Chains A and B, each alone.
Chain A
Amino acid sequence: MMDEQFAEGDSLLHKRDPKAKIIASAIFITAAALTRSSTAAAMFLAFAAILCALTGLPLRPILKRLLAVNSFTFFLWITLPPTYGGNEFITLGPLSLSVEGIRLAALITLKTNAVVLAIIALLGTSRIANTGHALETLHLPQGLCFIMLFSYRYIFVIYQEYQRLVRAARLRCFKPATNIHTYRTFGYLFGMTLVKSWNRASRVHQAMILRGFDGHLIPLSQDRYRRSDTLFLLVILTLTLSIALVGFQYP
């Protein structure tokens, strides 16, 4: 995300207008998040995977994102099955695992992966500036667009400041261990990261103001909404709704 690495490319999805992609992802995410059917969730995942394949992006960075997300769902797999309760249980040695717990963990995992892949395919394939601009033309409150654009800048700034401080600590032979010195050092590192990021972010903001920035980020490349974008939107909408209907049939 720092380099907007997914935005480089010239696939069918890269060429779509960000407005169409924002609406498409809003529809997809809502439908995928609301479904209670594992069948539908699996279909959403397949759909999102196909979209990702259409972007022609390299597999590795995408898998890396999925790995990061699934380190969270991993915790669901450890906690839900033993604790969820219900009527059916599977006994595995000393453990008795709730079937409903397993089902729920699976459902959440499928949904999460589907949403992440859809975001990469739909939102990741536009530059942040273009997406921000599209949000504005979709009449989202300006404040909201501003926050979105700036969280993007801040994440980058915070990350850099943190790295700089960690490097400085390491250069002075700091080795993390389980003791008060380590905890205190990390406390200082996080605290200083926040303070320094805040200061840097305000200087960056000043630099932007001096160059005439007034809250609207104007993208350098112009997007044009074409008929193919409407077509694209209709295809996504139809498929998403069909999957949602499948979800009602097979709950």
Chain B
Amino acid sequence: MSKQPLIELRNISYLYPHSTGPILENLNFSTQEKHIGVIGSNGCGKTTFFQIIVGLLTPTAGQLLFHGKEIKDKNRMRDLRREVGFLFQNSDDQLFSPTVIEDVAFGPLNLGYSQTAAKKTAIETLAKLGLEGFEERITHRLSGGEKKLVALATILAMEPKMLLLDEPTNNLDPKTRLRLISILQGLDLHQIIISHDWDFLEQTGSTLYRIEDGHIHRCEEDHIHVHSHIHKAGDYPHRHGH
């Protein structure tokens, strides 16, 4: 690994058009740890933060650095998007081809792979995720959990160096959730995970960051308290005295 962090954000601010105040303000962040967990309340700007990293949103102010150099043109952005894969909060938005194999091969084909090579990569990626035999399935008829795994396959087929995962365990049953965790643990990739699922963040060994009031900061170790008992309103990260 090079000394430069893969991604660095400097003084990033973002304001949605027609909105009253900025969602992110003077935000500084760099990918120092291999596994990063991002927490924060609903609507605090977590998804926005990811969209800025991959250039889907252009920050109103500040710089986006990739391997230590500012992104200035489309080609560099394309390199970044190749190395940083983004798993959407909603897999329905991510799968658009009629069949699974076409969807997984879509990225490799765009990267210039031959049809044979793209197909081979797609089949191998599906196999790696335990999705053998899914090739000809119709994407919009998959179950929610299957969609999530196929969406992950579409990203892994592009052989990224880093994964951005937006609430990956949302709506997964316990079994699929465990399967996803073991898949992610088995990948030798940088990962930034947005999640309200504390156990999941713990199991993927993530350093926690919190987005709050437009800033992101690393959570102090002594405030982090991962616990596995059930809360009545436990999907929001919380601190308490015990």
> Quick one: which of A159-197 are within 8 Å of B by CB?
160
A-side contacts of B85, CB under 8 Å? 210
A220 and B56 contacting across the interface, CB-CB below 8 Å: no
CB nearest to A213 among chain B residues: B110
The answer to whether A210 touches B81 (Cβ under 8 A) is: yes
In the assembled complex, how far is the CB of residue A75 from the closest CB belonging to chain B, in whole angstroms?
33
User: For residue B111, which residue of chain A has the nearest CB?
Assistant: A212
Which of B56, B102, B158 is in CB contact (< 8 Å) with A212? B158
Interface string of A128-159 (1 = CB under 8 A from B): 11000000000000000000000001001000
- Give the complex CA separation of A208 and B118 in angstroms: 16
Quick one: CB contact mask for B95-128 with A, threshold 8 Å, 1 for yes? 0111001100111011100010011000000000
The tally of CB-CB contacts under 8 A between chains A and B is 62
Find out whether the CB atom of B115 lies under 8 angstroms from the CB atom of A220: yes
Q: Does A88 contact B (CB under 8 A)?
A: no
List the one stretch of B30-38, B86-94, B193-201, B213-221 in contact with chain A. B86-94
Would you call B96 and A207 a contact (CB within 8 A)?
A: yes
A206 proximal to B (CB < 8 A): yes
Flag if B96 contacts A208 (CB, 8 Å).
Answer: yes
List A contacts of B106 (CB < 8 A). 208, 211, 213
B225 CB to nearest A CB, Å: 35
Does B138 have its Cβ within 8 Å of any Cβ on chain A?
yes
Residue B67 interfacial (CB < 8 Å): no
Q: Which of A127, A211, A221 contacts B107 (CB 8 A)?
A: A211
| B residues less than 8 Å from A129 (CB atoms) | 97, 102
- CB-CB under 8 A from A15, the residues of chain B are none
Contact A222 B115 (CB under 8 A): yes
Assuming the A-B contacts A153-B96, A222-B115, are A212 and B107 also in contact, with contact meaning beta carbons closer than 8 angstroms in the complex?
Answer: yes
Q: How far is the CA of A96 from the CA of B34 in the complex (A)?
A: 83
Extra contacts, 5 of them, besides A3-B138, A218-B110 (Cβ < 8 A), are A127-B98, A160-B140, A203-B93, A211-B155, A214-B110
A residues adjacent to B (C-beta < 8 A): 3-4, 127-129, 153, 156, 160, 200, 203-204, 206-214, 218-222
Which residues of chain B have a CB within 8 Å of any CB of chain A? 54, 56, 78, 81-82, 85-86, 88, 90, 92-94, 96-98, 101-102, 105-107, 109-111, 115, 118-119, 138, 140, 154-155, 158
Chain A to chain B contacts (Cβ below 8 Å), 16 pairs: A3-B138, A200-B93, A203-B90, A204-B93, A204-B96, A208-B106, A210-B56, A210-B81, A210-B85, A211-B107, A211-B154, A212-B81, A213-B110, A218-B109, A220-B109, A220-B118
Give 3 nearest A-B pairs by CB, closest first: A212-B110, A211-B107, A203-B93
